[in-house]
Amino acid sequence: MQNVRVTDDAFDEFSFLPAQAAELGATGPIPAAERLTLALPDGRTLSALRFGDAPPAVTFLHGAGLNAHTFDTTILALGLPALSIDLAGHGDSSWRSDAAYTAGPLADDVVRALEAWTTSPQTLVGQSLGGLTAASVAARRPDLVASLVIVDITPGVNPDEGPAQIRAFFAGPTSWASRDELVERALSFGLGGSRGAATRGVYLNSRVREDGRVEWKHHFAHLAAAVANGDADAPTLDSAVRDLLSESGWHDLAAVTAPITLIRGERGFVSAGDADDFSRRLPAASVVSVPARHNVQEDIPAELAALVRAASGRRSPAV
């Protein structure tokens, strides 16, 4: 559970939206945005962002080490009322004491969120960790999912290649003197896109402690650092990653009855061979390759929004 006191409680997490809209060339009004909190039966809380005045039509699930805000620009370009959920251990959602950050436990929370915050089956969009979680949700609760969009992940991805970069990025100190240091680290790993985008991402994914030090909000960084520092009692992320990228993920996908779209970043984690394997196992699914890295939503948000609209079967209604 997260009980860390911070000093930037007054920070307006939606203050970046006008600049993001300007980057898109959007001229209309910024959609209403609010943070939601859901109490879970075990005492944890789940947090999310809701955009628009109407009930959500699209729900987004982020990847490991990210948070609900990673989809802000995509949602602005989408033109549909949307929900973006902080998975357990990320953003403003509680950490899990058992560090069970795999598809099944995460999907349990998402199901409760969809029951509480949506009124119709969703176009469920999941990137990386969120993609495998979304598949688990769609497999067990087809009544909640109208279509499934998976962004740059399959259960066949080699856990020793792409995901290793993320583990290495977070296996550093657990606190920093300033957010500027975190921005430089992200850029040195080729993460975050432009400096402006990396700065925005760091501000929305970190917090300032009472002692003035800055730390990541999500549990993954703390777990990775503990392992890197030789803590024998620390849960290992390697085992969690291998659990995610296992045959159980294919079982979930095979059980999904909703239309499935895989969006592959050409410079991301899903190789051409992985995409071919996906098509062989799921011949009815659509596979789209796009010129992007793993975080497609940050590289080409407008293009991703267009693909999500197409998967939702809608054109471009106003939010």
Q: Which of 92, 108, 152, 252 is catalytic?
A: 152
Q: Are 191 and 168 in contact (CB under 8 A)?
A: no
* Kind of pairing between the strands at 122-127 and 145-151: parallel
Q: Which of 72, 108, 294, 299 is catalytic?
A: 294
Residue 46 tokens read as 């789940």
Q: Confirm whether 239 is a catalytic residue.
A: no
Encoded amino acid at 316, one letter: S
Residue-by-residue DSSP string for 191-259: -SSSHHHHHHHHHHTEEEBTTS-EEESSHHHHHHHHHHTT-TTSPPHHHHHHHHTSHHHHHHHHH--S-
Q: Which of 47, 93, 128, 312 is catalytic?
A: 128
Q: Confirm whether 251 is a catalytic residue.
A: no
Distance CA 275, CA 252 (A): 17
Which residues have C-beta within 8 Å of that of residue 41, sequence separation ≥ 6? none
Report the chain's terminal Cα–Cα distance, integer Å.
35
Closest by CA to 305, choosing from 131, 29, 75, 53, is 75
Q: Are 65 and 221 in contact (CB under 8 A)?
A: yes
Q: Confirm whether 294 is a catalytic residue.
A: yes
Active centre residues (catalytic): 128, 152, 294
